[in-house]
Amino acid sequence: MRPSSAKSRLIAEPALRITQGSLGRPAGCAPNLAQSRRRAFTLIELLLAVAVFAIALLAIHGVFYSAIKLRDKTAGALDAAVPLQHAVAIITRDLANIVPPGGVLSGQLQTSGITTGTGTRSSNWGLATVSGRQVGAAFYTATGILTEAVPWPDIERVAYYLVEPTNNAPGKDLVRVVWRNPLPVLTDEPEAQWLMGGVQDMTFSFFDGFEWTDAWDSTAQQPALPLAIRVELELVPGISSSMNDARPNRIEFVVPVMVQARTDQTVAALGAMP
């Protein structure tokens, strides 16, 4: 019986050794504590990771905040520049298409006798009489658009007014007043168009070929129209129009007048031709 017991033990021992080698440790044996400690993070490593994460988050926040400020400055610049460019474009178009005086549908260009408009104005600037200070002379221009609601010719009478703003904003509002019917049967009610706000003053000057003058009378001057008209807009300071510079306090632009009324000598010469 002993030989058989020894033989059984020799057969079982290799199986036990194979089991121990495959598992790394005998069954039921506790894990190595030193190896477990090496696998975990220490407190210093956790603090270092948190510090690195905080620094990266702070850098990302700075870049994001700078981008937000840049976006706000750009939006403010566009909001301030668009009305100004729109107003300058409309004024330039009106003066460039001025109609010579003396026709059936046009009157004289006279800066004398400018009166302040009276009456009330609506909140949406619709068809109403504007109460404010007229700047420059009213003149006739060929910038009217023929529509179904306004079946008048393209010649219209234009004047510019400075009125008090309705939102308590600094400066005054620049309003373009238009009379579309050149031959009204009754009193022609003008149409008021808001151009821009933040205007302190607006002046016109006229070039007669030799010098600039602040007044013009087409009934007494030759030629009847000036050769150029200069417009100066004095704006309220402190409104940003670019990312670096504030909006300029004064805008000045010159519009050449390309049309002229015929003189008496021209009419006589044309009448003498066969």
Query: Range with the lowest mean pLDDT among 18-32, 77-91, 225-239?
Result: 18-32
- Looking at residue 183, its pLDDT comes to 78
List of residues 6+ apart from 259 with CB closer than 8 A: 98, 99, 100, 225
Please state whether the predicted TM-score (pTM) of the whole model is above 0.75.
no
List of residues 6+ apart from 170 with CB closer than 8 A: 198, 236
The sign of the dihedral angle between the CA atoms of 142, 145, 149, 152 is positive
Q: How far apart are CA 213 and CA 211, in angstroms?
A: 7
Q: What are phi and psi of 115, to 5 degrees?
A: -115, 160
pLDDT at residue 158 is higher than 70: yes
> What are the residue ranges spanned by the domains of the chain?
72-262
- Looking at residue 92, its pLDDT comes to 93
Closest CA to 91 of 14, 180, 213, 175: 175
pLDDT at residue 169 is higher than 90: no
Partner residues linked to 157 by β-bridges? 140, 179
Mean pLDDT, residues 164-192:
83
Q: How far apart are CA 188 and CA 182, in angstroms?
A: 9
pLDDT at residue 57 is higher than 70: yes
SS3 207: strand
Q: How far apart are CA 109 and CA 144, in angstroms?
A: 18
Mean pLDDT, residues 51-66:
89
Give, for 156, the enclosing helix (H) or strand (E): strand 156-163
φ/ψ region of 171 (left if φ > 0, alpha if ψ in -120 to 50, else beta) reads left
- Looking at residue 274, its pLDDT comes to 43
pLDDT at residue 219 is higher than 70: yes
The amino acid at residue 131 is S
- 228-253: per-residue pLDDT in tens? 999 999 988 765 444 344 456 888 99
- Looking at residue 161, its pLDDT comes to 93
